[in-house]
Amino acid sequence: MNFNNQKPLIHLENISKSFDGQLIIDELDLQIRENEFVTLLGPSGCGKTTLLRIIGGFETPDTGKVIFDNADITHLPPNKRPLNTVFQKYALFSHMNVGENIAFGLKIKNKPADYIAEKIAYALKLVNLDGFEKRKPDTLSGGQQQRIAIARAIVNEPKVLLLDEPLGALDLKLRQDMQYELIRLKNELGITFIYVTHDQEEALTMSDTIVVMNQGYIQQIGTPEGIYNEPENAFVADFIGESNIIDAIMIEDKLVEILGSRFACVDTGFGKRKPVDVVIRPEDVELTSKEAGTLEGVISHLIFKGVHYEMEVTAGGFEWLVHSTGMFPVGAKVGIKIDPFNIHIMHKPESEDEEAVSIEALEEQS
Amino acid sequence: MANLLRKKENNTFIIGSPYFIWVVIFIVVPLIMIFYYGLIDRNGNFTLENIAAIAQPVHLKALRLALWLGVIATVICLIIAYPLAYILSQTSINRYGFVVFLFILPMWMNFLLRTLAWQTLLEKTGVINNILVFLRLPPLNIINTPAAIVLGMVYNFLPFMVLPIYNSLLKIDPNIINAARDLGANSVKVLQKIIFPLSLPGVISGITMVFIPALTTFVISNLLGGSKILLIGNVIEEEFTHAGNWHLGSGLSIVLMLFIIVNMIISSIFDKTGEGNFL
């Protein structure tokens, strides 16, 4: 789906926020369109949850504006905003049963009793928990509680649903099931989801648009494919999936020197003899016989991962991570070959600020 | 495995034994003695007369007054303590427990001394009246009235109301409150539908911890009520000390215990999780 044609719904303008003198979000701009599944993705402390809380009304930005449907809602309290939140640890009302929890928002708005009853039944059906009205939240499993939290939010028919790491407390299998549930829900409801997570797989699976954040800056905005295949900088490349990120020199258009060897590539417009970062995904590194490769190396590690083998190859003084269905034994001399389409060239970070950000983050990751 | 389990049980028993001995000597034995004395007469024959004695007008009046003053003191404590606990739970100045510490501080001073201090303050020619006269205001005449007793109860038992409420308020996850606001509730609705119901265990616990000592007190009524105002606690004390009738004293104690048990049953119904307990 192309979201460029959709109407913009939320506009964040020049948002900054600091806590105790520490800058959490730095002059951030972001547009979110109607009916979009947007994921704010980043490591802990990157400002993604703070940004969500600013949209939800639980924090006020130090500078900047939150525009919703052309109206400035920056200083509107949460109870007056036309959006609802699903909190990280469910935040169900333990003194009420499931039905009362779901009815809470509707009762506040003085909706008639039969309308409320209808809505509860509809919402419980939607989250596959029919007949749970009378249960107390503490008798439910984590996954069920999360579904109730979602049901409680959506009965209010918000235009936007904010989800703050809603699957963080669930185990892996349940988390995967809930990912499909959330996609289905979003399609059935036809509303905008803004989803916060630090789990890149979750983000890639569910999102229409991913906003990669680090240390208060947006690093890249794009579709899951775009973010994965065309990362804009080393941080994004490293955070999303596994990758080999190597210092290189762009000799000229379509030719790059990596670790002393020249590789054909498809990127242009970087200038001549410019230092760049190169990203090569482990599944894109081809291992061949010593003679057939562009670069020569030795296998230093070999692990069987089920779907593929994971190998580490020392070549040109760099430890290459390689995923392949074929294997070479440890100590074998191999050649490294890379398809020009699979070499992704990135600009080196320009400002010192950005550089500090990405290097620190990379160290943290490894 | 069975051996291991038995060993573990043994250990628990050994570690718990000092407490167990304490409970037997200072709680179980005195209770048995109260029931023993309460249910026999001076000649050692079984009788319910000591318990039935509560129906005597003078005893009934003392019980009614004790219940009444206890209820008033509890209500006043609740009215003062709830907003106080709420404010304490919201402020960041209390991050290091400083305000709570200030609250507990007077409790380190002897209870009797604190109440005696009130006697000096409230006397006809006491500190407060001297100040009032100096300011050309009419003096207060509350010493030796029920009002002075209630004041003494509120003063002495207020921390027992504040702390459990404060504790239960502190346990409310801020995201629960955020969720309520997110669903459209304004501050009044949040307080009424979320914060108050969730703090109820603390409130119930506080009520129990104020009402029971208020109901049974004889020191406060002795010191601040003069000898004119008799609460059921004073009556029982008199029987044990001056009148020397342990049988009647024990019988009336059993009646008083019934009220305490009823109170505790009610509170345990509300406070299933034991959330309000802070001791």
Q: Are residues A16 and A158 in the same domain?
A: yes
Q: Which residues contact B10 (CB under 8 A, 6 or more apart)?
A: none
The tokens describing B202, both together, are: 């603390």
Averaged confidence pLDDT in chain A:
89
Instruction: Compute the nearest-CA separation of B199 from chain A (Å).
Output: 10
Q: Do B183 and A58 lie within an 8 Å CB cutoff?
A: no
Which of the residue ranges A36-40, A240-244, A284-288 would you say has the lowest mean pLDDT? A240-244
Stated as kind and residue range, the H or E segment containing A304 is strand A295-304
| Mean pLDDT for the stretch of residues B182-190 | 93
Domain B51-270 has CATH 1.10.3720.10: yes
Residue A55 in contact with residue A196, Cβ under 8 Å?
no
Distance (Å, rounded) from C-alpha A85 to C-alpha A196? 11
Given an 8 Å threshold on Cβ–Cβ distance, is A87 in contact with B175? yes
Is it the case that residue A90 has pLDDT exceeding 80? yes
Which positions in chain B touch A104 (Cβ < 8 Å)? 180, 183, 185, 193
Distance of CA A3 to the CA centre of its chain: 17
Q: Which own/partner pairs from B156-160 qualify as long-range (CB within 8 Å, at least 24 positions apart)?
A: B156/B111, B156/B114, B156/B115, B156/B213, B156/B220, B157/B73, B157/B77, B157/B209, B157/B210, B157/B213, B157/B214, B158/B77, B158/B80, B158/B81, B158/B210, B159/B103, B159/B104, B159/B106, B159/B107, B160/B77, B160/B206, B160/B209, B160/B210, B160/B213
- Per-residue pLDDT for B275 more than 50? no
Dist CA A237 CA A245 (whole Å): 8
- The structural domain count of chain A equals 2
Partners of A153 on chain B (C-beta within 8 Å) are: 182-183
What's B216-248 look like in SS3? HCCHHHHHHCCCCCCCHHHHHHHHHCCCCCHHH
Question: Predicted confidence band at B276 (pLDDT cuts at 50, 70, 90)?
Answer: very low
Q: Are residues A298 and A341 in the same domain?
A: yes
Report the share of chain B in percent with pLDDT over 90. Answer: 49
**Which stretches of chain A sit within 8 Å of chain B by CB?**
56-58, 77-79, 81, 84-85, 87-89, 91-95, 104-105, 108-109, 149, 152-153, 156
H-only helix segments in A218-330? 224-229, 234-239
Distance from CA of A78 to the nearest CA of B (A): 5
Which among B175, B176, B184 is the nearest to A105, CB-wise? B184
- Dihedral angle sign, alpha carbons of residues A191, A194, A198, A201: positive
Q: Does residue B79 carry a pLDDT above 50?
A: yes
Q: Which residue of A has its CA nearest to B200?
A: A95
A1-26 average pLDDT score: 83
Residues B160-172: b if buried by 16+ CB within 10 A, e if exposed? bbbbbbbbbbeee
Residues A135 and A279 in one domain: no
Distance separating alpha carbons of residues B275 and B272, to the nearest angstrom: 8
* pLDDT at position A183: 92
Is A50 found in the same domain as A148?
A: yes
What is the DSSP-derived secondary structure letter of residue B141? -
The pairing of strands A261-264 and A274-280 is unpaired
pLDDT value of residue B6: 62
Say yes or no: A34 and A123 in one domain: yes
Whether residues A79 and B179 touch (CB distance < 8 A) is answered with no
In the sheet that holds A71-72, the strands lie side by side as A22-33, A8-19, A63-68, A71-72
CB A126 within 8 A of CB A161: no
Taking CA atoms, A86 is separated from A82, A293, B175, B176, B241, in Å, by: 14, 52, 10, 11, 65
- Residue A362 has a pLDDT of 47
Contact A108 B183 (CB under 8 A): yes
Structural domain ending residue among the three candidates A229, A251, A276: A229
**CA B165-B171-B173 angle, 5° bins:** 135
Q: Do B184 and A108 touch (CB under 8 A)?
A: yes
Strands, E, within chain B: which ranges? Answer: none
Inform me whether the pLDDT recorded for B111 exceeds 70: yes
Q: Is B176 within 8 Å of A91 when comparing Cβ atoms?
A: yes
**Are A117 and A224 in a shared domain?**
yes
Token representation of residue B13? 């028993």
Sequence letter at residue A360: E
Query: Cα-flanking dihedrals φ and ψ of residue A44, to 5°?
Result: -65, 140
B179 near A CB under 8 A? yes
**Domain final residue pick, A184, A200, A229:** A229
Bridge partners for A30 per DSSP: A12
The reply to whether residue B198 touches residue A94, judged by beta carbons under 8 angstroms, is: yes
* Dist CA A32 CA B144 (whole Å): 72
Identify which of A323, A263, A261 has the alpha carbon closest to the alpha carbon of residue A287. A323
pLDDT score recorded for residue B272: 59
Domain residues of chain B, as ranges? 1-38, 51-270
Contact state of B176 with A77 under an 8 Å Cβ cutoff:
no
Minimum Cα–Cα distance from B173: chain A residue: A91
B173–chain A Cβ distance below 8 A for any pair? yes
What value does the mean pLDDT take over residues B156-171? Answer: 91
Give the model confidence (pLDDT) of A159-216 as tens digits: 999 999 998 878 888 888 889 989 999 998 899 999 999 999 899 999 999 999 998 8
B184/A79 CB distance under 8 A: yes
CB-CB neighbors (< 8 A) of A58 in chain B = 178, 181
Question: Tokens standing for A211?
Answer: 């906003």
Tokens for B183, please give them.
């669903």
Nearest CA among A166, A184, A21, A16 for reference residue A85: A166
Cα separation values, A38 from A208, A346, B198, Å: 6, 24, 35
Pick the residue of A19, A53, A58 with the most B CBs within 10 A to test the interface with B by mutation: A58
Cβ-nearest to B181 among A77, A152, A156: A77
Residues of A in contact with B193 (CB under 8 A): 104
Residues A43-72 have a mean pLDDT of 93
Do A78 and B186 count as a contact with CB atoms less than 8 A apart? no
Residues of chain A contacting residue B95, judged by C-beta atoms under 8 Å apart: none
In whole angstroms, what is the distance from residue B78 CA to residue B206 CA?
Answer: 8
Q: Provide mean pLDDT across the span B198-225.
A: 92
Residues A219 and A278 in one domain: no
Structure tokens, A312: 């580490």
Q: What stretches of A127-249 show up as alpha helix (H) in DSSP?
A: 142-154, 172-189, 200-206, 224-229, 234-239
Residues A298/A332, Cβ–Cβ less than 8 Å: yes
In Å, how far is A77's CA from the nearest CA of chain B?
Answer: 8
Residue where one domain finishes, among candidates A195, A229, A263: A229
> If you average pLDDT over residues A110-126, what whole number do you get?
94
Answer for the pair B115, B154: CB distance below 8 angstroms, yes or no: no
Put simply, whether B198 touches A (Cβ < 8 Å) is yes
- pLDDT by residue (tens digit) across A311-322? 999 998 899 999
Give the residue on A whose Cα is nearest the Cα of B197.
A95
Q: How high is the ipTM of this complex?
A: 0.79
Instruction: Tell me which of A152-161, A262-271, A349-358 is least confident.
Output: A349-358
Structure tokens of B272? 């299933």
pLDDT of residue B263 exceeding 90, the answer is no
Average pLDDT over residues A11-21: 92
Quote the CA–CA distance of B66 and B225 in Å, as a whole number.
12
- The CATH number for A312's domain is 2.40.50.140
pLDDT of residue B196: 94
A95/B175 touch (CB, cutoff 8 Å), yes or no: no
pLDDT at A116 over 70: yes
Contacts of B186 in chain A (CB under 8 A): 77, 79
Question: What does the DSSP 8-state code read for residue A170?
Answer: S
pLDDT at B96: 61
What is the mean predicted confidence (pLDDT) over B56-75?
94
pLDDT at B146 over 70: yes
| Edge-to-edge order in the sheet of strand A261-264 | A261-264, A255-258, A244-252, A274-280, A344-347
Query: Can you tell me the distance from the alpha carbon of B140 to that of B137, in angstroms, rounded to the nearest whole number?
Result: 9
In terms of residue numbers, what domain contains A360? Answer: 234-365
Q: Do A93 and B175 touch (CB under 8 A)?
A: no
Does A208 lie in the same domain as A298? no
What's the mean pLDDT in A51-80? 94
The DSSP secondary-structure symbol of B26 reads I
- Same-domain status, A293 and A156: no
Count CB neighbours of A361 within 10 A: 21
> So what's the pLDDT on residue B105?
80
Q: Does the pLDDT value for residue B182 go beyond 50?
A: yes
Chains A and B form CB pairs within 8 A to the count of 63
Residue A252: enclosing H or E segment and its boundaries?
Answer: strand A244-252
pLDDT at A304: 93
Cα–Cα distance for residue pair A102/A190, rounded to 1 Å: 20
pLDDT of residue A340: 93
Q: What is the CATH number of the domain that holds A64?
A: 3.40.50.300
- A257's CB contacts (< 8 A; 6+ apart) are A248, A249, A250, A251, A263
φ/ψ (deg, to 5) at A353: -50, -55
Q: Are residues A136 and A82 in the same domain?
A: yes
Token pair listed for A3: 């979201």
Q: What pLDDT sits at residue A359? A: 43
Residue of A nearest to B198 (CA): A95
Please tell me whether residues A80 and A109 are part of one structural domain. Answer: yes
Distance CA B53, CA A358 (A): 85
Let me know whether A162 and A257 are in one domain: no
